Amino acid sequence: MTSTPDTATVPVADEALKSTVAGVAEHHDLSILGLFMHADVIVKLVLMILIFMSVWCWTIMLHKRMTLKKLNRRADRFEDAFWSGEPMDKLYQRVKKSPADPLLSTFSAGMDEWQAGIAAGIPASDSMQTSLKQRVERSMSIAIIREMQILERGMTFLATTGSTATFIGLFGTVWGIMNSFTAIASMNNTSLAVVAPGIAEALFATAAGLVAAIPAMVAYNVFSSRLARYADRLHAFATEFSAIMSRHLDSSDRGGSGASSRRVA
């Protein structure tokens, strides 16, 4: 004869299970701060690394945005003055008193080499003139390379964050899930209330990795394009400057009166 369970014990068991689940839920705060505070030491370390990477990436992004906006605005003003017909020597003396700027540094490098080359007069031979042109172009190219290296600082960190943050977060997730399964085995309880907090803490690392990686990769692509356009602008100016210097030399060969410090129309 089969025995039936005492119906009085069923509510007691249900109440015990509910109290256990409530106790677990109360013990584990599933907010972002709670997930971080209750996470494993390794997961916490992963999250702190990702937070640092994200904060530093946003610092780089804001700095790049403000810097490029300011440089393009100053470049517009300088090019307006450059093509306004103002004598180059006067423009050069005025530029030397201005704050450092990639376009102004490129112009100053070209003018420094030009004035050094014509200090004893404009070279008469074609070979000397060709050498002067090459020195001016080389000085401006070196100035552009040096200035672009300064502007590109931080881009490597953006690329590194964009390509590695997801995997760092995934490492934290795998580690957290391993700990969750270990806890399940030790407690011999597969209740969702027991499993969920540990899984949530583990998945939080992946979410943090994505939050750090996605903006960094987008910013890297955007600022790489903007820096390339600004570099093209510097190279275009250097080419125009070299063409103006060539016209000065051609004018002197024809016996024209074009002074070496004034642009030829």
What pTM was computed for the model?
Answer: 0.77
Task: Write out the two tokens for 245.
Answer: 């210097």
Dump pLDDT digits (tens) for 5-61: 554 444 444 444 444 444 444 455 556 666 666 667 888 888 899 999 999 999 999
Dump pLDDT digits (tens) for 130-149: 888 899 999 999 999 999 99
- Confidence category of residue 94, pLDDT binned at 50, 70, 90: confident
Count CB neighbours of 241 within 10 A. 22
Q: How many residues does the chain have?
A: 265
What angle is formed at CA 25 by the lines to CA 8 and CA 198, rounded to 5 degrees?
Answer: 125
Please say whether the beta carbons of 68 and 230 come within 8 A.
Answer: yes
Please say whether the beta carbons of 117 and 132 come within 8 A.
Answer: yes
Q: Of the candidates 10, 34, 14, which has an alpha carbon nearest to the alpha carbon of residue 22?
A: 14
Q: Of the candidates 232, 262, 57, which has an alpha carbon nearest to the alpha carbon of residue 157?
A: 57
pLDDT score of 251: 74
